[in-house]
Structure 1
Amino acid sequence: METIVTWLVDQVWSTGLVVFALGAGLFFTLMTKFVQFRYFKEMIMLLFEGKNSDHGISSFQAFCLALSGRVGIGNIAGVATAIAFGGPGAVFWMWVMALLGGASAFIESTLAQVYKSKIGTQYRGGTPYFIEKGLKIKWFAILVAIVVTISYGILLPGVQSNSIASGFENVFGINKSISGIIIVALLAVIIFGGVKRIATVADKAVPFMAIGYVAVTLIVLFANFSEIPAMFSLIISSAFGAHEAFGGIVGAAISWGVRRAVFSNVAGVGEATYSSAAAEVSHPAKQGLVQAFSVYIDTIVVCTATAFMILISGMYSVTPEGKAPIVDNMKGIDAGPIYTQSAVEAVLPGFGGIFISIAIFFFAFTTLMAYYYIAETTLVYLDKHTKFRWLNFVLKIGLLGMVYIGSVESVSFIWALGDLGIGSMAWLNLAAILLLSKPALKVLKDYDSQKKAGLDPIFDPRKVGIENADFWIDKCDEMNSKNKLTAILDPKEAVIEHANSLINKEDKVTRKTPLNK
């Protein structure tokens, strides 16, 4: 089985996918006029703007829910494997993929908002939803939903639980099967509690774990302050083949850098589209910008923190696939969390192993919550076509079962399953958002024009010529009805509101300076 899965991974993660991911990111960057850079300040402000409701979650909760999926074991073990197989230069290509991927993240999350629906009492949306409504290709949407459900429900959970169990066994001597049972029990309490509970846990745990991890990184860097210039030189020279030792593996550096960046920040894979659709915002582009920022946090901040700790401490080996070791500082130890644990332990003896094990738990556990939420959302979509309502219970049991299996299985097989899932989704989602780039760019143009007019952007799909955005049409009609009712019941308030809008339009000031009654 492992041989078959490894062969499939090699086919999915060919050079074609590396070029496709980089090329799509570059295309979206140019077409959006570098949206991920020119709206950087806006991204941070929008994090705290939206509020949750009975039907949706706040922008910050959606950000944390998406970040809980992005910031996982890929930020610790994934970075270590990128360095182990691609050399220090892989870190540079992770940065490139993240910077370009910010535009891909903007496009996919904006589309998720445009084509979302209210199903029951909750907002739902994501890749299958915008394929059906935007591209009007139902079979493609169903295929994506099936692949996503299998990937997040079966293929990927084991990567996270395996790392938690391995870390606890290495540091605390806890048997992997016991760790697996504990993880399953904790996760069951949360996923049986529903989407709101998942979002509530995510917006508390994610900021805490990210800040703590970066703080420890700064300590390690400060302890090796004199080595920082040499570390940057090593990364840059290795990325372009100028370094004597790593000059012959530039191709591996690019491939593994992009591969692990995509696994970690999942920009273009579609993972963040599901939480983005659940956010309560006034304009789809707002959530697109929030999710572009989450890519920076994941890769530019957290992944870089791991890479710096490993490289500056020298706790790594580089053994390109099929070649002899170029660097063997870890003496045959498999690449993974042990690299990061050793780096912290070298500076903070007795603390490194414990801290990284706890960090792995938070990173991986919150990712498992996000995985379930995504798989449940695609299952809700499939339920419209299958009507098999019992599948939701099967999903819960199946995911929990794979969490336990992942805890006790071999690390190579579990990572191969994860790579297969991420790669398969990347091909499908990137194709979909490229085909839907035109409506996404219309939304951005509408956002740009309203911002230039000094307005707080409000989205009406009819004004920009986007079809099948039923949720937003209903929302606009509802707002118009309320405004008309206000004019009838309180004409004075209606006049003041109209005057404020004129001031905003003509003088390009914000609604923070309303007309005095």
Structure 2
Amino acid sequence: MSEFLDLVNSYVWSNALVYLCLAAGVYFSIRSKFVQVRQVPEMLRLLVRGEKSPSGVSSFQALTMSLAGRVGTGNIAGVATAIAFGGPGALFWMWTVAFLGASTSFVECTLGQIYKTRDQLTGEYRGGPAYYLSRAMAHTRAAGAFKVYGYIFAAVTVLACGLLLPSVQSNSMATAMSSAWGFSKWWVAVGTVIVLAFVIIGGVKRIAAFASVVVPFMAVVYIVLAMIIVLLNADQVPEIISLIFSSALGFDSAFGAIIGAAVMWGVKRGIYSNEAGQGTGPHAAAAAEVSHPAKQGLVQAFAVYVDTLFVCSATGFLILSTGAYRVFEGESESGAVIAEGGALPADTEVGPGFAQVGFDTLWSGAGASFVAISLAFFCFTTLVAYYYMAETNLRFMLGRHAKVQIPGVGGTLGTGLTMLLQALILVSVVIGAVSTATEAWVLGDIGVGLMAWLNIVGIIILQKPAYLALWDYEKQKKQGLDPVFDPMALNITGATFWETYERRPQTTAAGQTSGD
């Protein structure tokens, strides 16, 4: 089975997907006139000025829901893995993916808002790739093909987020806790399942409330402590930056032979971490209550920066500045060691252990505990986000059939299958916690890769409405208005939610309604 999964993973994560992700990011950046640079001030403004309603969460809550999915084990164990098998240069390619991926995230998340709908059972906003893949072409001859495409994406996402990806998070969490405190992985699994069940059964509102408190707090604490250690080693920072760039571009003699691995691991772990193009961000984006889809597209573009440029960079600089790394040839721990920082004990496995040793330099003996606590929060919030995405796609597949009553049971089909999905993800958490890290990561990579293939191809085809929304938003902002969205005025079809959305009067910066 292990060999079969490795074979599948090699096909999913071929060079074609790596270059597709990079090329898509370049194209979207040019097409949007580098929205990820031009609109940074607006992104920050929108973070603190949001709306919410009984159906939708605020922009900030949607951001934290998205970050809950983005900020996880990939920010700690993923960065360590990228450095171990791709060298320090992998960090450069993670930055590249983040910069280009911010434009990709804008496109997919704006599409998620444009084609969102209301849940048949709860009335909450739902959306994501399955929704825009099936709705954007609803009035064309290709409607049938894209509807099928949407269902394929939904099925893959239920499989990936409900079964494959949770195992990676629970495995990293259980491994870190076992290493730090000697806990049995079974006890970690049971405890995680109990708390996770309480959160996910509460629905999107409880998920949003939980994420809006936990994610910002842990991200800030983690970044601050990592940066303190980097500052204590400030004299090494110029050398580290030089090493990152030289090894990324093949100028460093020690890492010149693995430049291909640097690109592959940097892009793979970058996408796994920030999820730009993977199709996960649009699910949280669609849950937000906004007057214009571009608002949440901009907020979600900034989420990519938070994940990779802040959290991943903090981990990378922590590991490199403290010498807590080892680089292997052949993309495996069985390969020859071609470089190392000298601070790692010989028995340290690739993964959270790199960061644990790095934190130990600040407070001897505390590194393992701090990383375990960080992973507990990061991984748990990611598990919550995975469940939300799996549930959203399950509801898409059910459609109006979600309200069908199950004979002799007294519940609806939607409720019954939702409970089954909840059980599935809880079982996945247990299996992942007690599995080996290698098996868990291979399953996670397959899930991420399949979603990325389907979503990136889809948004390349469907991108136009996202740009129409962006130009419309910027035009209204120049007029001093708080932008509101009217898809019919922009000749955008299939946005049925917005066609019937009750629009507020447009207001100027001074608070006057337009036309006063």
Cα separation, 2, equivalents of 1:225 and 1:96: 24
Q: Give the paired residue count.
A: 490
Q: Quick check: 17-26 or 120-129, which moved more?
A: 120-129
Alignment of 1:474 onto 2:476: no
Contact 1:180 1:404 in 2 (8 A): yes
Q: Which has the higher helix share?
A: 1
Return the match for 1:134 from 126, 133, 136.
136
Task: Give the alignment of 1:312-327 within 5 angstroms.
Answer: 312-321=321-330, 323-327=335-339
Contact 2:102 2:304 in 1 (8 A): yes
Cα separation, 2, equivalents of 1:119 and 1:340: 41
Task: Give the alignment of 1:169-208 within 5 angstroms.
Answer: 169-208=178-217
1:400 counterpart letter in structure 2: L
Alignment of 1:440 onto 2:440: no
Alignment of 1:375 onto 2:390: yes
Report the Cα offset of residue 386 of structure 1.
6.2
* Residue aligned with 1:321, SS: coil
Cα separation, 2, equivalents of 1:386 and 1:417: 31
* Deviation string, structure 1 residues 138-159 (Cα, Å, up to 9, x no partner): 1101000000000000000011
Matched residue, 2:161: 152
* Deviation string, structure 1 residues 183-206 (Cα, Å, up to 9, x no partner): 000101111111111100000001
Contact 1:252 1:320 in 2 (8 A): no
Alignment of 1:236 onto 2:238: no
Matched residue, 2:373: 358
1:425 counterpart letter in structure 2: M
Matched residue, 2:278: 269
Report runs of 4+ in structure 1 exceeding 6 Å deviation. none
Alignment of 1:20 onto 2:10: no
Report the Cα offset of residue 347 of structure 1.
2.4
Matched residue, 2:510: 511
Cα separation, 2, equivalents of 1:512 and 1:93: 44
Cα separation, 2, equivalents of 1:317 and 1:374: 35
Cα separation, 2, equivalents of 1:352 and 1:256: 25
Q: Quick check: 295-304 or 115-124, which moved more?
A: 115-124
Report the Cα offset of residue 18 of structure 1.
0.5
* Residue aligned with 1:347, SS: coil
TM-score, normalised by the number of residues in structure 1? 0.92
* Residue aligned with 2:125, SS: strand
Report the Cα offset of residue 130 of structure 1.
0.4
Matched residue, 2:444: 418
Report the Cα offset of residue 327 of structure 1.
1.9
Unaligned runs of 5+ in 1: 484-496, 505-509
2:172 counterpart letter in structure 1: S
Alignment of 1:84 onto 2:84: yes
2:128 counterpart letter in structure 1: G
1:12 counterpart letter in structure 2: V
Unaligned runs of 5+ in 2: 138-142, 403-412
TM-score, normalised by the number of residues in structure 2? 0.92
Report the Cα offset of residue 385 of structure 1.
7.2
Report the Cα offset of residue 350 of structure 1.
2.2
Matched residue, 1:493: none
Matched residue, 1:309: 318
Cα separation, 2, equivalents of 1:141 and 1:333: 43
Cα separation, 2, equivalents of 1:149 and 1:298: 24
Instruction: Give the number of the structure whose alpha-carbon radius of gyration is greater.
Output: 1
Cα separation, 2, equivalents of 1:464 and 1:254: 40
Cα separation, 2, equivalents of 1:320 and 1:428: 32
Matched residue, 1:10: 10
Cα separation, 2, equivalents of 1:479 and 1:259: 41
Cα separation, 2, equivalents of 1:386 and 1:153: 21
Report the Cα offset of residue 38 of structure 1.
0.2
Alignment of 1:34 onto 2:2: no
* Deviation string, structure 1 residues 244-269 (Cα, Å, up to 9, x no partner): 21111111101100000000000001
Report the Cα offset of residue 100 of structure 1.
0.3
Return the match for 1:343 from 347, 350, 358.
358
Report the Cα offset of residue 447 of structure 1.
1.0
* Deviation string, structure 1 residues 154-183 (Cα, Å, up to 9, x no partner): 000011111111111101111100110000
Matched residue, 1:462: 488
Q: Quick check: 316-325 or 380-389, which moved more?
A: 380-389
Cα separation, 1, equivalents of 2:326 and 2:45: 41
2:503 counterpart letter in structure 1: M
